[in-house]
Structure 1
Amino acid sequence: MTSFFSPYRHDFTRIASCVPRIEVANPSFNVDRTLELLHQGHDERIALMVFPELGLSAYAIDDLLHQDALLEAVESGISRLAAESSNLFPAFVVGAPLRAGDRLYNSAVVIHAGRILGVVPKAYLPNYREFYERRHFAPGAQIRGQEIAVAGIQVPFGVDLLFRSAGSCAFTFHVEVCEDMWVPQPPSTAAALAGAEVLLNLSASNITIGKAEDRRLLCGSQSMRCVAAYAYSAAGPGESTTDLAWDGHGGIFEDGLRLAETDRFPSGSTMAVADVDLGRLRQERMRRVTFGDCARVLGVTASDFRTITLAIDAPAEALPLRRPIERYPYVPSDPAKLAENCYEAYNIQVQGLAKRLQATRTEKVVIGVSGGLDSTQALLVCCRVMDKIGLPRTNILAYTLPGFATSEGTKGNAWALMRALGVSASEIDIRPAARQMLEDLGHPFAGGEPVYDVTFENVQAGLRTDYLFRLANHHRGIVVGTGDLSELGLGWCTYGVGDQMSHYNVNASVSKTLIQHLIRFVAASGDVDRTTADLLHAILATEISPELVPQDASGQIQSTEAMIGPYALQDFNLYYLTRFGFRPSKIAYLSWHAWKDAKAGTWPPNIPESAHRSYDLAEIKHWLRVFLGRFFTSQFKRTAMPNGPKISSGGSLSPRGDWRAPSDAGPAVWLAELESGVPDAEMP
């Protein structure tokens, strides 16, 4: 059985975009360099490798392509590649000029385990600017159902070929050549609709200024449109520079995401390697019903293609994961991308609330301000909304509602924030009403006993919400909710109170990890003065707590993360469960790779050094167990959640939008998979 610590166990397949050093019109040399990379691929357990267009002969050789001696040397090279790769793990595709009848084709040759599996001709031949391929080659766009003789062997030949691994590493791939990707309807589009999950492109593609970004755009967009992995390999060192230059640009893309790329302008052979997530692609195709609809509308079916079978079995040993995994999936580590995300998220929140006020013809909002992260961000949004629609900030009726465990620090921050932002600020002490309610209930606390149970907590939480809704009635306003996506996912909110119920919740699909960056974004935006910015940073430094239970004898406060787990891990779990539907063992595997080494990888900017910690597999498994138990048993809270705008492509939990589920489903299936699928010990 494949090790838990191997990507192949979790629906990944390792592919490589290869750029060997070549010599012009020297197939023997070029085969040697190809074999060197193939042996490296075997050692690294790469399942599929793609090489450049015409890589066995070189691309820019003009009329030498019509020389019998060269063409025969190329076929001998293919025969040698097949023979000498018979005991190697990877399937691979090389580029070669091949004769069929009285025509010459720019071809891709697919080989695995000593067998030449098939040949795909280049469909579209460029004959403009520096390209003159029609001088030498025949176009292959119409070739279907044919065979070709390669090194004395008849093999399938045409643009109608799919290659399917029927081994324990199961996937389907398709091959196209260079220009095929640059046309309005690439052949890989139909192949993807027919079932291909990995799309390969053998290219030569000389380099000119700006062309590398064009390639990235085309490869990324094709992988996104086709919900597929796309691997691209272009010619590199050794190609003729008579009139052109070559940068050896190879890259691997997955549903729009660039996973790996070669160093351009290399002096020797190189390759980009990545583990593509076939499970993610299959989930996306299943979810995007228009993908299948498109196949039906266009009349594309698997029967339009001949399927060539090979058998690649997943290696059993542990292997490192070869792809980037963001520690914070809701918070990109790239500073520019994070800044863009924060700008968009903040303005989505603002637009959502502004429209709700306009639609309800309401000019006032009521909000509870605790001095914590969520209410701070919601209050900042309210202020920006009032500025945007031309109403005074005094129309924001902000209340701090201290209870039995409210600290002077958070209450002080709440007051300082309300004053700094110029809103109408008030305080209502809920303790007298809470005592009365607890006495009416016959709760031991009313008699002086320090009993801090769920009733004690929820009496306070409920009263705060009662006051806010009645204040909204009294002042003809609406209650703005503050609870965030992470709390809704974990059920860390009381049914019917302010972190679950409101008239409109601007934070409903903002994760806890993102909210911290939104506050930093506002602090740095210039919309607030330096004093207010410093106050926002002080709020960011405050430990997250519901402040419903008084400190214990040692002075320890009620810590949210001590009870429900680190938000860093729980947001990771929430993202991969709801966005992709991954099984718990795969989530744990990804989390382990993201968090096992605090020194590896990248962190989003402004993450405090104290947060740069690692988590071992036992911790990850424990908190995932907690997450699953809480997530499934809390669906009834999400079913009744108020309106609020969707913020992230990571999804929301609105019952009217991204997440629709029964309230009476339990976590047993997921917990069982977690226990059976994740070892208790680290990799030996």
Structure 2
Amino acid sequence: MSTLHILMAQMNTMVGDFEGNTAKVLAVLARAEQAHAAPVVVFPELTLTGYPPEDLLLRPSIAPRVAQSLAHICSAMNGGTYAIIGYPLLEDGVLYNAVGVLHRGRVLAQYRKQCLPNYQVFDEKRYFSPGSDACVLEIEGVTVGLTICEDIWEKEPALQASRAGAQVLLNINSSPFHRGKRGERWATLGERAKQSAMPIVYVNQVGGQDELVFDGASFAVAADGAVKATAPGFEEGEYWLQLDSGTQPATLTGCDAHPQEDDLEAVWRALVLGVRDYVNKNGFPGVVLGLSGGVDSALTLAVAVEALGPERVEAVMMPFRYTSQMSVEDAAEQAATQGVTHKVISIESIYEAFMASLAEEFADTLADTTEENLQARCRGVLLMSISNKKGCLVLTTGNKSEMAVGYSTLYGDMAGGFDVLKDVPKTLVFELCRYRNSLGPCIPQRVIDRPPSAELAPDQKDEDSLPPYAVLDRILALYVEQDYSAEAIIASGLDREQVHRVIRLVDVNEYKRRQAPIGVRITQRGFGRDRRYPITSAWRPGE
């Protein structure tokens, strides 16, 4: 019987940081070698470049940089450790998404990813060519097979490795989070393990990269499909497994099963990690946001404080004549509760100066949304000026429901660098606020209870302009995330007039979303990498 000590190295890499990523790899390898004589250390997909590197893969210097990093790692591997590590591989002018087995200063074997995802946020066929062959090799008396991410979602690569004699399959991943993703992974790997009659180890990247969040949550399944070991979600770490090959099939034991987050906790942690990594990886000293006394900015502030600490967050209340005293009080209360810097800067005089300058242009016209938008733009100017002066990032506070139907102002409340709630529907905003308050005092209860309002006009309520959010979010989920037609949505029991109106608003506001900041993706289809619709189009909502 042979025994393998396998380390799941759940790493947070940075795209393009070859030196930093290589240094992290070497540190993990050094710790692993101290723990066991001949460990197998499994790193995520495209560890050396970070994932997704996008068009950096088209740069001529990518191949020599990868080669340099591999040489550096190999030169440090004088002991018995085996490193299973992902990187782009250029061969005869063809680029592959590859995983290599490094041992005692050389590359023992390389596997080329066969199934290249080209849907949702993925466009790997733009960069890579597919491999076609299994990669199976003996490591310390155990026959090990290799696959990469999407390969495990198809039947053939795992079966191919099994037919070649693999006793265990190591699958490296850079799999982004969305709601329900962990259950999908467990079910899929369980099925593959049973089909191929061998245990599978699934190692995933962790961390935020622009709008994507990788949740880690690495795990291993036995040959019967049962989940045997789970790593925590949303944090880096190193987790040991043991494979005993004396049984048929091989037996996998290892790290304790870490408690798994429920849906709300997972979304909360994804938002926090996405903000933390975007701010830190881009070198911002902190963030500033407009704290209006409403529920969206309240949740945005709570996420920012959790991600960065109160000392790196500034909240600015920018009242106007339509701002209620309740809003002013609630914003001040939350800022005090969370210990952030809190400023109050009225936009009254700024608005009046704009209106005076525009008096001739606006002569003989009635007040309409123009004046409402001007209020939002005054606030946007203030926040961006603070950002410029202090070097901090402006967090915008629009939610997915508002972004979908254009209930937002270009160069106003959309002005900023990162939208924390961009993929969070309004109904989920309320759920997350209640979840956050369950952890400790944070958001004043009446912020959650009061009817949502932009407070841009007297007694204004969001539902004066939009369907109730429960209805709106149901329509949006069917149209945006599930591609239902208008008729199919109506057939599900929703009002015809409301459905056509909402869909029309979604379609005509594509131009706004193209100019919006990026934000954390938490659903299977957000407004970003995985939804690209034309701005100019004769498409009709019933189609």
1:625 corresponds to = 500
The alpha carbon displacement at 1:562 in A equals: 2.3
Partner residue, 2:468: 566
Measure the CA separation in 2 of the matches of 1:482 and 1:384: 16
Partner residue in 2 for 1:492: 407
The whole-number CA distance in structure 1 between the counterparts of 2:191 and 2:486 is 28
Asked if 1:582 corresponds to 2:484, the answer is yes
Instruction: Report the secondary structure of 1:572's partner residue.
Output: helix
Other-structure match for 1:510: 424
1:369 aligns with 2:243: no
Work out which of the residue numbers 381, 399, 410 in structure 1 matches 2:303.
Answer: 381
Asked whether the equivalents of residues 452 and 549 of structure 1 are also in contact (C-alpha less than 8 Å), the reply is no
**Residue of structure 2 in register with 1:640 after alignment:** 515
Residues 604-615 of structure 1: pairs in structure 2 closer than 5 A:
none
User: Within 5 A, what are the aligned runs for 1:470-485?
Assistant: 470-485=385-400
Does the 8 Å CA contact 2:287/2:313 hold for their aligned counterparts? yes
In structure 2, C-alpha distance between the alignment counterparts of 1:581 and 1:626, rounded to whole Å? 16
Distance 1:404 1:225, change over 3 A: farther
Q: 1:354 aligns with which of 276, 282, 290?
A: 276
Whole-Å Cα distance in 2 between the matches of residues 365 and 222 of structure 1? 40
Equivalent pair of 2:479/2:503 in contact (CA under 8 Å): no
Say which SS state the counterpart of residue 262 (structure 2) adopts. helix
**What is aligned with 1:549?**
457
* 2:283 partner letter: R
Counterpart residue identity of residue 647, structure 1: I
8 Å contact from structure 2 (residues 504, 541) kept in 1: no
Aligned to 1:87: none
Letter in 2 for 1:507: L
Cα gap change, 1:522/1:443 in structure 2, threshold over 3 Å: closer, same or farther?
A: farther
Please tell me whether residue 404 in structure 1 is matched to residue 321 in structure 2: yes
> For residues 523 and 329 of structure 2, what CA distance do their matches in structure 1 show?
32
| SS of residue in 2 equivalent to 1:493 | coil
2-structure distance, mates of 1:464, 1:222: 48
Aligned residue for 1:564, secondary structure, equals coil
Distance (whole Å) between structure 2 residues aligned to residue 409 and residue 666 of structure 1: 45
Distance 1:588-1:350 versus aligned 2 partners, 3 A rule: same
**Is 1:539 aligned to 2:414, yes or no?**
no
Task: Give the Cα separation in 2 of the matches to 1:225 and 1:438.
Answer: 65
TM-score (norm 2): 0.51
Identity of aligned residues (%): 23
Measured in 1, the distance between the counterparts of 2:331 and 2:324 equals 11
CA displacement at 1:666 relative to structure 2 = 4.6
Structure 2 CA distance for partners of 1:642 and 1:224, relative to 1, 3 Å? farther
Identify which of 525, 536, 539 aligns with 1:664.
536
Give deviations 1:440-492, integer Å, cap 9, x for gaps: 111799x9x99531211111000101100100111221101111111111111
- Does 2:270 align with 1:344? no
Q: Deviations over 1:132-186 (max 9, x none)?
A: xxxxxxxxxxxxxxxxxxxxxxxxxxxxxxxxxxxxxxxxxxxxxxxxxxxxxxx
CA–CA separation in structure 1 for the residues paired with 2:489 and 2:480: 11
1:561-610 Cα distance to aligned partner (Å, 9 max, x none): 221211111111111112221111111222x1xxxxxxxxxxxxxxxxxx
Deviation at 1:639, TM superposition (A): 1.2
Q: CA 1:225/1:665 → structure 2, altered by over 3 Å: closer, same or farther?
A: farther
1:440 aligns with: 357
Return the offset for 1:223: 12
Structure 2 letter corresponding to 1:636: Y
The number of residues matched between the two structures is 297
Q: Match for 2:268: what amino acid?
A: Y
Cα 1:362–1:221, aligned 2, differ >3 Å: closer, same or farther? Answer: closer
Change (3 A) 1:545 1:224: farther
Give the letter for the 2:305 counterpart. Answer: C
Distance 2:355 2:415 in 1: 22
Give yes or no for contact 1:632–1:666 (8 Å, CA) kept in 2.
Answer: no
Q: Deviations over 1:209-244 (max 9, x none)?
A: xxxxxxxx99x9479989xxxxxxxxxxxxxxxxxx
Where structure 1 has 5 or more consecutive residues not aligned to the other structure, the ranges are: 1-187, 191-216, 227-335, 388-392, 551-556, 593-616, 674-684
Partner of 2:373: 458
CA contact (8 A) 2:315 2:341 kept: yes
Give the counterpart letter for 1:483 in structure 2.
G
Identify which of 527, 530, 537 aligns with 1:653.
527
Q: For residues 463 and 224 of structure 1, do their structure 2 counterparts lie closer, same or farther at Cα, with a shift above 3 Å needed? A: farther
After TM superposition, the structure 1 = structure 2 runs for residues 54-65 of structure 1, keeping only pairs within 5 Å, are: none
The equivalent of 2:241 in structure 1 is none
Q: What runs of 5+ residues in structure 2 fail to find an aligned partner?
A: 1-153, 157-182, 193-258
1:629 and 1:661, CA in 2 relative to 1: closer, same or farther beyond 3 A?
same
Contact 1:633–1:665 (CA<8 Å) still a contact in 2? no
1:429 corresponds to 2:346: yes
Deviation string for 1:231-281 (max 9, x for gaps)?
xxxxxxxxxxxxxxxxxxxxxxxxxxxxxxxxxxxxxxxxxxxxxxxxxxx
Tell me, what secondary structure is at the counterpart of 1:670? coil
Amino acid of the structure 2 residue aligned with 1:478: L
**CA distance change for structure 1 residues 464 and 225 in 2, over 3 Å: closer, same or farther?**
farther
- Equivalent residue for 1:418? 335
Structure 2 counterparts to residues 11-410 of structure 1, below 5 A: 221=187, 340-387=262-309, 393-410=310-327
Q: Matches of 2:321 and 2:519 in 1, distance apart? A: 30
Q: CA deviation at 1:501?
A: 3.1
Deviations 1:84-127 (A, max 9, x none): xxxxxxxxxxxxxxxxxxxxxxxxxxxxxxxxxxxxxxxxxxxx
What TM-score comes out, normalization by structure 1 length?
A: 0.41
8 Å contact from structure 2 (residues 453, 462) kept in 1: yes
Give the secondary structure class of the aligned counterpart of 2:280.
helix
Deviating 4+ runs (over 3 angstroms): 220-226, 449-452
Q: Is the Cα–Cα contact under 8 Å of residues 444 and 451 in structure 1 kept in the other structure?
A: no
User: For residues 375 and 443 of structure 1, do their structure 2 counterparts lie closer, same or farther at Cα, with a shift above 3 Å needed?
Assistant: farther
Q: Which residue type is aligned with residue 499 of structure 2?
A: L
Larger radius of gyration: 1
Q: Name the CA distance, whole Å, in 1 between partners of 2:536 and 2:352.
A: 34
Question: Contact (CA 8 Å) 1:504, 1:642: kept in 2 or not?
Answer: yes
* Contact 1:633–1:666 (CA under 8 A) maintained in structure 2: no
